[in-house]
Structures are given as C-alpha cells and as structure tokens.
Structure 1
Amino acid sequence: MPAANSGSAASQTVHVPLGDRSYDISIGTGNLVDVGRWVTSLRSVTHAVVISDANVAKHYQQRVEEAIAAEGVRVTSLVVPAGEPSKSVSTAQSLWEAALADRVDRKSVVVALGGGVVGDLAGFIAATMTRGLDFFQIPTSLLAQVDSSVGGKVGINLPSAKNIVGAFWQPKGVLIDTAVLETLPRREYLSGLAEVVKYGVTLDAEFFSYLEANVQPMLDRDPAVLQKIVARSCELKAQVVAEDETETTGLRAILNYGHTYCHALETVAGYGEYLHGEAVSVGMLCASRLGEKLGVFDAESTQRQFKLLSALELPVATPKLDERAILSVMQRDKKVEHGKLRFIVPHRIGKVVLTPDVPSDLAMDAWREGCEA
C-alpha cells in the first residue's frame, strides 16, 4: 500500500451541496502531502489551530503542521488523550483556554486531525470559540472518513448521554487520504467497516452486495477497494445531509440506524469499552431483529447482515448488561419524541424507516435475543 507521505494520487471529489455552507470532500491516496495548499486554497488563513490526539499526532501532526506553516500560516498545535473520554466538558475547556492563550481570534481556523472523537471535539471547539470559527476535517480513521467527518455534526458527551451537547457546524472542506489507514490499529479499522455496512443497509442494496463480495479485500485494506467504499459512503451521506442538514424532516435520522441501541451500549458499558463501530454492529442487528418483530423485515436479511458483520470480524452478540439501564439510556436518545421511543427500522436491504411509538418491551426483546447470538 502507498505510504501516507507519498506524492498524491488521483483524487475523487464528492460535493456536499448546502448553499452557502457547501463544501467538497477530496478523497485520494497519498494526498495528505497537499494539506497546506488545500487549506489555503479554500480560505485566506493566517492562524490555524491543529487539534489531534496522542495516537495520531505521533504519525501525522508534525507533517500537517509543517505543510500548513509552509504556506505562511502561524500554527498552534493542541493534542488531547486518545479515546472517547476526551469528548468531555473538561477537555473542551482546556482546549478553549489553550487556544485563547495562543491568541486565537475570529480569523483563526481549526483543523481537526484525527478520528471521530477528534473531529467531533475539534468541530465543537470551532463552533463555540469566539461564537464560531471556520474549520477543516482531516479524518484519519475509517469511521471518520466514511461518516463522522461529513455532515457537520459536532459535540461532546456528558457522563449520562453521548453527543448530547453539540451543534451543526459544517467544515469548509474535508481531506481524506486513505493511505493513512495503514497506521490505524486493526481493531479501529474493523470498527469503521460497521459504518460502511450501515450505508448499504440504509441506502444502497447494490453497495451492500458489493461489500458481501469484497470481504477479503476490505480486510486486507486493498487501496482500490478502500477508495471505492470511502467515496461511495461519502456520496450517500452527502445526499442525505443535503436534504436534511439539521434533522428537521427525519430523513437524516436514517443515518442513525442501529445507533439507539449503540449509544445505550456505549453508555452502560462505559465509554471506551466498545469502539463506536463495534457498538454500531451490535446495534444494527438489534434494530434488524426489531424490524422482524414489527413485521416489516425478514429473517433472511437479518442473517445477511449477521454474516457480513461476522466476516468483517465485528461483534454481533449483545453483552449481558443491566437491561433497565439500557432502556433508561434509550429513553434519553435524541430521537425520542414526546417521551415515545423511535427507532430506525429496516424494511429491506437499502431502505430503513424512522418508526415512532415502538413499544419498549419489543425493543428490549430485540436486545435480549442478541445475547444468544
């Protein structure tokens, strides 16, 4: 696989059409070398705050800093501990104070260099510092490349709820270099594949079939397959975000397939016990079984998901946790409306529906049955 510091290969561009908030996603292999010119081509910049985590920083922080500085930009580097616990009020406060100490002003920009945690956190800092700074996403995990770096959702966690404090704050651009995935630990890489599967189930049956046919190349991180699955995932997400940027129509909620169960699992098990994609894998199967119980989905399609997720070495069994705690967290989910549980439920591969008034006993039955997987 090409090294992340090699000359840039031919890139694909996915456009996110949002009026005056529109931006492009540049997807390539080896294109991280162009980051300085990329940032300054999109905006006049004199000061950039680069936020990363300890794991990513040791591979790419200096390279990104030097490339941006070479364009005559003053760079402030801020590094947070790796992992979900960094998406916290205390970490946000430390970043606000550090940025202020290095003379951030309303013309500064934020560059998020890292996975989903860094993207969410750095984006939240950008949305809130001086009432809003422009920011750029450079996602370095597969999960962030195909999902969290696109669409403008930024935020932090509270101890009792994930992503409950946040904003919609679109980046000025997203630069994706699939070659950086070679330094991603295997567990984190596999975790990202769950979000790729999600796009197939929710929006594109043909893409789901492609994934079923390309399990081994995905496990091997084949460059051509990686670029294809990243680009297609970004295209699908861009289409949804363009139609429902701030989740006012309910369409964007379909991207949260499996996430009601997922967030409950992450919260009750303790942030960091499951990687996000691992919890998504478990959650999608719970939602699939719920679709069966509601009579809108078939067991064969649930089995197809089970087989694909298993082949991609993702967890498929529901852990034995306090069911009352699981239900309590689900009742605080952002999709709850007037106190009623709502779930994203599959109707067929390629189509899911936001379903209101789901009885809690059915929801928990779907959870419970996963313990036997």
Structure 2
Amino acid sequence: MGRSENLTLWAESPEEARLFLARAKRQGLAEIAEIYVAKRSPKNRSNHYIEGEYFATSNDEHVLVYDEIVIASPKIVALVQWCTCDIMLSWGSEPICVLEDTTHIVRMNVYQRFPRVLKAAMEGVPALALQGTRGLDFSKRGDCWGLHRYMRAYAAASRAFPDIGVLPFIYLPGDDELRAEAEALAYMNALINGDEETAARLRSLKIEEVVEVSDNGYLGHVARDIQSIDVSDTEVTVRIGAQPDKKSWREKGSGQMDPYIGMIAAAKYVYCFDQEGRQTKKLVVSFKFLPSDFFWFKGWETSRSLYKTLAFKIGDRVEFLGKKNSG
C-alpha cells in the first residue's frame, strides 16, 4: 500500500460518514484526511456511485457536501457493484476494508446487506458488519433462528475467504454496542496500520466465534433450512415466488426483489460451497411464476438497477417457469 497517500473515507452518505467519524474518534483510529460520499442524503436513491461518482466534502467532522464530483479509482468502484457499503477506507486509491454499520435486523430479510460485504471479499478486501439486533426478540425461537441463519452466511463466506474475512460484530441494544464497536475498530486499525499479525489474530478469533454459532445455533437454537431453497447433490435451487401481477413491479424501483437478493447470495455460499470453501454445486435462481419475457428484467445486462442484475450475476443459472402471455 502506498502510505504516502492519504487515509480516505468513502461513505454512502454524510450521515454514515459522521457516525463513523464519531466511532473512529472514540476508538483512536488514525486521522482521516479525505472524505467522499456517494449520496447527498440517505433518502437519495441515485446510484451513480456504481460508475465511480462521489461528492467531495469539507473533509472534517461536519461532512458538508459540495457540488464537486470526483471519480473513484477502479478498485474502489469494483467494491460497490453489488451496492455500496456504508463505509470504505483506502490509502488513496488502494482499498483497506469496508464496513456495514446498522442497528436493526429484520428476521424476514436477515441477508439484506450480505451481498455488499461479500462483494468486497470477492475483490480481496476485508469486510466487516457492525450489526445491531434491534427488531429481534431472542425470547422467540424464530428470531434466534434468524440470527443463526445470518451467522451461517458469514461463516460460509469466511470459509471461502479465510485470509480476507467477512466478519460480523454483533451487539444487543444498549452498552453492548460500544464493546462491538471497539472490537470492530481494533481490527480496522490493524488493517489501516498494516499490522498483519494482529489483523490475522483478530480475524481468526472472530471466525472461530462465528463458526461456533453457525455449527451449534444461536442460544442453542439451530434454524431449519429455508423451505424455498432446494439442495441436491449437484445444484442448489432458490425458488422465487414473486407474482407477475403485483403493482410493485411498476411502482417500486426494487420491484418485488428486495427480500431475495441477499438470500440468493447467502444460499450460494451456505449450500454451494464445501467446508474447505470450494464451490461444489451450481446455484439456480428459479422464478416460479414469472415468464421468460417478463418486462421488468428486459435489458438487465445494461441496467444500473442492482435489483435487476444481481440474480443473474450471483446465480450460475437463472430460469423462468411462468407462462408467457398469449398475444
């Protein structure tokens, strides 16, 4: 890494940047010299960042956003092709690590952010998730199952990328967040400083923790396999039950795909990869009710909508089993 370059923060929005800067200050992280943001606010739905466009900022704790556009390096752009993480750090143009930072988790969509950190690992960049558990009630078996499924995905990804790591730092509501923050930023600090020995030790300890939960369940609760995922000796099929007549296909940018993209990515690594991290089965994405000429996916190859493209990019094969409209 070119240490003559500035330590640079690439954030999804100024809000995410400010939150991370506060965490960095508490944990004594190295000083960040440059700050760029993909969006002016979290409510902005544009995704010009996938082409490398970022807004310059005031480069301080206020993160005032300017009109000036900068173009990120190809290595940074590669990290955001499956949606941008909340935080990316780099020495100049050389990525160091990425971080997803969220307080909530939804049982019916526990894999929502998984593709973002997975993509970083695929590009050879260490990935972290600072994951709160608001929204889950661990007195309920189903919510324990939800977190167990979440951890299975991270364990599987870390088997595939053991020297890179896709590491979740889980915390309960309250003071436990500071513990998880300290653990996550200690690992990030080692990566920033090029302290490979410390980074490897912390990564190994976290992977062991994640694998233990993956193997034995969360609070002893081992989740049942998801019914819409079929596993055979040669392939894994994720059955997508989205109906073609729902108005959300026309009214929402995500159509009906929001709950499915993360599940597709998780299914690939949980079921298609063996204990040594090698892919041994093909992943089939099967749209049970959509016809092959379904309008929403037309031109997906050139679309900038990640909801339209990722099923094809993650799956080894995509099939449409619905009947075509006559006439």
Do the two structures share a fold, i.e. TM-score over 0.5?
Answer: no
The one of the two structures with greater contact order (alpha-carbon pairs below 8 A, sep at least 6) is 1
Hey, which of these two has a bigger chunk of helix by percent? 1
TM-score between both structures, scaled by the size of structure 2: 0.39
